[in-house]
Amino acid sequence: TQAPVNVTVTGAAGQIGYALLFRIASGQLLGPDTPVRLRLLEIPQAVKAAEGTALELEDGAFPLLAGTDIFDDAKQAFAGANVALLVGARPRTKGMERGDLLEANGGIFKPQGEAINAGAADDIKVLVVGNPANTNALIAQAHAPDVPAERFTAMTRLDHNRALAQLSKKLGVPVSEIKKLAIWGNHSATQYPDIFHAEVAGKNAAEAVNDQAWLADTFIPTVAKRGAAIIEARGASSAASAASAAIDHVHTWVNGTPEGDWTSAAVVSDGSYGVPEGLISSFPVTARNGKYEIVQGLEIDEFSRARIDASVQELTEERDAVKKLGLI
Ligand code: NAI
């Protein structure tokens, strides 16, 4: 039998953590043949709550769960990590400026990047979920110079799944019939969900929709502002859907995308599509042999170009801001 894979989860006592850990333990992150050992990182005040979750994990009697360890020290939590899910972050509170938010998160993601650099396993794969996810991933990556940059990714899979669901409802087709959707740019309200290359039952999705007004005025804002709609309805931010998307992101990374399809993830730009090299931006990506690769050669029309540029501009500004703060 295989040795357990070490999965480190930060923010383990939070609401996403609560939805995520049980799915990891049940084998949905890495597959039904791979045992996992959970390494949970929390701030000292939340360690007790994480211990409570660990008791429940034990009570799940998951055949694939080799054990759960809890830490309040990043160096220990990331030691030997094969997969790291960086969920814990400093949320924006009322009256907080963007600079303050970036600075507070720099205080979290810089030491975590250093800890990953110091002690993670050679095959470490990092997914940043905690917001601002793309820039938090950039900060962590900047402090892990010995880890290949492409191992740091940020999550736009939830946006991708939201776009799939909206398009499926509009066209009355199951999500399984929709291929090649793409989220571009930042995981923020400027993101661009792109259906121009998407296929529905073999037909071009934009042609199947044939409704530019719906696309511009309903589809794009519904996907981009879905997080706010969830908060409004639920009185709390999306948690189970975010956990589900994190499972999807890592599962795809490890197991690959099906032939004839792709997904979306924020990965380090190699300059493709005019996205400045080094930014962690969402692209259409395929996964093969444990690597995400940016889909090349897509034609970008004017409508898409303007939206991609606007979101990438926001990422550039966030990068400039964290540079100015000395965080990268
Ligand atoms: P939450 O507030 O319920 O939990 C966050 C947890 O992180 C808390 O238990 C807190 O103690 C912990 N934490 C804070 N600093 C930490 C540190 N330095 N090390 C370890 N743990 C630390 O928040 P929730 O709902 O679980 O969301 C977590 C993050 O995910 C938020 O930043 C949220 O904005 C983001 N998010 C991202 C999405 C995406 O699509 N990329 C979707 C939904 C949420």
CA 9 to centroid of ligand 1, rounded, Å:
11
Give the residue whose CA is nearest to atom 31 of ligand 1. 130
CA 136 to centroid of ligand 1, rounded, Å:
12
Q: What is the reported pLDDT for 57?
A: 98
Q: What is the reported pLDDT for 93?
A: 86
Q: What is the reported pLDDT for 91?
A: 87
Q: Give the model confidence (pLDDT) of 15-45 as tens digits.
A: 999 999 999 999 999 999 999 999 999 999 9
Average pLDDT over all residues of the chain: 97
Determine how many CB atoms are found less than 10 A away from the CB of residue 161: 22
Give which of 242, 244, 264, 7 is closest to 131, Cα–Cα: 242
User: What does the CA dihedral 109, 115, 120, 126 come to, rounded to 10 degrees?
Assistant: 0
Cβ–ligand 1 distance for 41 under 6 Å, the answer yes
CA 189 to centroid of ligand 1, rounded, Å:
18
Q: Tell me: is residue 162 an annotated ligand-binding position.
A: yes
CA 178 to centroid of ligand 1, rounded, Å:
30
Return d(Cα 133, Cα 242) in angstroms, integer.
Answer: 12
CA 149 to centroid of ligand 1, rounded, Å:
23
Give which of 170, 155, 175, 172 is closest to 241, Cα–Cα: 155
Q: What is the reported pLDDT for 92?
A: 86
Give residues with Cβ within 8 angstroms of 26, minimum separation 6: 60, 62, 64
Q: What is the reported pLDDT for 157?
A: 98
Burial (CB count <10 Å: 0-12, 13-18, 19+), residue 111: middle
Q: Tell me: is residue 45 an annotated ligand-binding position.
A: no
Cβ–ligand 1 distance for 72 under 6 Å, the answer no
Cβ–ligand 1 distance for 16 under 6 Å, the answer yes
Cβ–ligand 1 distance for 239 under 6 Å, the answer yes
Return d(Cα 82, Cα 268) in angstroms, integer.
Answer: 19
pLDDT band per the 50, 70, 90 thresholds, residue 316: very high
User: What does the CA dihedral 257, 260, 266, 269 come to, rounded to 10 degrees?
Assistant: 120
**Order of strands across the sheet with 65-71?**
65-71, 36-41, 5-10, 83-86, 125-128, 152-154, 263-268, 280-288, 291-294
Determine how many CB atoms are found less than 10 A away from the CB of residue 7: 24
Amino acid letter, 117: N
Q: Tell me: is residue 260 an annotated ligand-binding position.
A: no
Q: Give the model confidence (pLDDT) of 195-237 as tens digits.
A: 999 999 989 999 999 999 999 999 999 999 999 999 999 999 9
Cβ–ligand 1 distance for 248 under 6 Å, the answer no
Q: Tell me: is residue 130 an annotated ligand-binding position.
A: yes
Q: What is the reported pLDDT for 228?
A: 94
Q: What do you get for the CA distance between the two ends of the chain, in Å?
A: 41
Return d(Cα 301, Cα 213) in angstroms, integer.
Answer: 17
Decide if 197 is catalytic: no
Identify whether the C-beta of residue 70 lies closer than 8 Å to the C-beta of residue 58.
no
Query: pLDDT exceeding 90 applies to what percent of the chain?
Result: 96
The residue from 187, 197, 249, 251 that is catalytic is: 187
- Report the atom number in ligand 1 closest to the C-alpha of 187: 41
